[in-house]
């Protein structure tokens, strides 16, 4: 499909935070190449906070498929609304049947997606899925059907408000005294098996505090219990637990101001490259080589190799399938600190 330039395009990405973060470079590249196109996106309520103030998007359509808009009736209401927008093209990186069906029933003539999608039969344009390509690059490859190709590495952009920037500046200025830098940790995850142990995060934090770093913890409201467990093992005022206290864009601004981020395989890890902050990524049940490695130039991956049971899935789970959780048990604080030191030596 050759774009004239004034088309209306719908992107459907109703997966998790990290998935949306890795979809944004595709949207940016599309808009930069065809500035007159109108781009709308469907996403979840929680992830929509990632794209507040986004200059590349026309409309964010929030679809609460897991709670208030579950079921057929709610989906049909959404489709009725989408029909009125008369989209010319749908780009659907999300691999579910429902996402593909929404594109079809909304009467969108061009529907682009991957062969790996459970609803691929409903697409007009189907692309191969390279298991070993980074997710950002895979998503960008969908634009080849619109004759758009990247000429350089594209990372996600975020747009915190002036108020959100000032909030972070104030928090830092009130606490930075006599510290040599800021390190942020993101100890949460939607999936239980992807959460490295709070007491080990605490051991890493205590080591960093001894080296005179100011350490912040960030995360969603649902991660508060993790932050509390970490806090119980730290007595220094140089550790500030902000889990559940910041907006998503405030958290991103804090990551941007940090020397580095230490994160489980979760949304913050995939956000960090967009603000040029290196990350020490902790991978337990998941394997970064399937397209979900940190995308920055100086990142470090901490993982347990040579386990027959790993990976046990693309996205982790609530329980270890064999009951050992060996993939995380073998990641010691010392291994994470070695990753930190490698990044610091590059700076």
pLDDT greater at residue 5 or residue 74? 74
Asked whether the beta carbons of 139 and 292 are under 8 A apart, the reply is: no
pTM of the model: 0.96
Q: What is the pLDDT of residue 3?
A: 82
Question: Can you say how many angstroms the Cα of residue 255 is from the centroid of all Cα atoms in its chain?
Answer: 13
Residues 6+ apart with CB under 8 A from 296: 272, 273, 276, 277, 278, 279
The pLDDT of residue 316 is above 90: no
- Domain 162-346: top CATH class: alpha beta
* Mean pLDDT (whole number) for 190-196: 96
* Mean pLDDT (whole number) for 288-311: 96
Q: What is the pLDDT of residue 224?
A: 97
The pLDDT of residue 160 is above 90: yes
The pLDDT of residue 86 is above 80: yes
If pLDDT is split at 50, 70 and 90, which confidence band does 17 have?
A: very high
Q: What is the pLDDT of residue 134?
A: 97
Q: What is the pLDDT of residue 313?
A: 82
Q: What is the pLDDT of residue 200?
A: 98
Candidate CATH numbers 3.30.1050.10, 3.40.430.10, 3.40.50.2000, 3.40.50.300; the one for domain 8-146: 3.40.50.2000
The pLDDT of residue 4 is above 80: no
The residue extents of the domains of the chain are 8-146, 162-346
Whole-number Å distance between alpha carbons of 172 and 50: 22
The string of pLDDT tens digits covering residues 241-253 is 999 999 999 999 9
- Residues of the chain with pLDDT > 70, as a percent, come to 100
Asked whether the beta carbons of 215 and 239 are under 8 A apart, the reply is: yes
If pLDDT is split at 50, 70 and 90, which confidence band does 238 have?
A: very high
Mean of the per-residue pLDDT values of the chain: 96
The string of pLDDT tens digits covering residues 24-65 is 999 999 999 999 999 999 999 999 999 999 999 999 999 999
Domains 8-146 and 162-346 share a fold: yes
* Mean pLDDT (whole number) for 245-274: 98
Q: What is the pLDDT of residue 347?
A: 72
Q: List the one residue out of 170, 21, 279, 117 whose CA is nearest residue 103.
A: 117
Asked whether the beta carbons of 83 and 62 are under 8 A apart, the reply is: no
- HEC string of the chain equals CCCCCCCEEEEECCCCHHHHHCCHHHHHHHHHHCCCCEEEEEECHHHHHHHCCCCCCCEEEECCCCCCCCCHHHHHHHHHHHHCCCCCEEEECCCCHHHHHHHHHCCCCEEEEECCCCCHHHCCEEECCCCCCCHHHHHHHHHHHHCCCCCCCCCCCCCCCHHHHHHHHHHHHHHCCCCCEEEEEECCCCCHHHCCCHHHHHHHHHHHHHCCEEEEECCCHHHHHHHHHHHCCCCCCCEEECCCCCCHHHHHHHHHHCCEEEEECCHHHHHHHHHCCCEEEEECCCCHHHCCCCCCCCCEEEECCCCCCCCCCCCCCCCCCCCCCHHHHCCCHHHHHHHHHHHHHHC
């Amino acid at each position: 499909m050759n774009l004239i330039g004034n088309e209306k395009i719908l992107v459907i990405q109703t997966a998790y935070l990290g998935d949306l973060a890795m979809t944004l470079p595709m949207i940016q590249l599309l808009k930069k190449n065809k500035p007159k196109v109108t781009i709308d996106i469907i996403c979840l309520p929680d992830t929509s906070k990632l794209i507040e103030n986004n200059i590349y998007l026309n409309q964010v359509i929030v679809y609460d498929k897991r709670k208030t808009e579950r079921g057929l009736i709610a989906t049909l209401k959404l489709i009725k609304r989408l029909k009125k927008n008369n989209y010319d093209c749908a780009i659907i990186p999300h691999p579910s049947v429902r996402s593909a069906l929404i594109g079809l029933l909304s009467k969108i003539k061009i529907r682009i997606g991957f062969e790996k999608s459970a609803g691929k039969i409903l697409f007009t344009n189907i692309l191969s899925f390279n298991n070993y390509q980074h997710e950002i690059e895979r998503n960008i490859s969908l634009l080849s059907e619109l004759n758009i190709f990247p000429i350089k590495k594209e990372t996600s952009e975020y747009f915190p408000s002036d108020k959100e920037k000032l909030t972070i500046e104030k928090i830092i200025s009130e606490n930075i005294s006599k510290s040599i830098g800021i390190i942020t940790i993101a100890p949460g995850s939607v999936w239980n098996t992807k959460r490295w142990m709070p007491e080990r995060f605490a051991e890493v934090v205590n080591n960093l505090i001894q080296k005179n770093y100011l350490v912040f913890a960030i995360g969603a409201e649902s991660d508060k219990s993790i932050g509390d467990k970490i806090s119980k093992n730290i007595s220094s005022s140089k550790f500030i637990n902000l889990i559940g206290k910041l907006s998503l864009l405030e958290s991103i601004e804090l990551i941007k101001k940090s020397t580095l981020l230490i994160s489980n395989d979760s949304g913050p890890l995939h956000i960090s490259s967009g603000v040029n902050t290196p990350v020490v990524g902790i991978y337990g049940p998941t394997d970064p080589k399937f397209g979900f490695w940190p995308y920055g130039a100086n990142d470090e991956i901490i993982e347990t190799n040579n386990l027959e049971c790993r990976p046990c899935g693309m996205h982790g789970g609530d329980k270890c399938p064999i009951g050992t959780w060996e993939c995380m048990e073998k990641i010691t604080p010392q291994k994470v600190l070695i990753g930190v030191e490698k990044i610091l030596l590059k700076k």
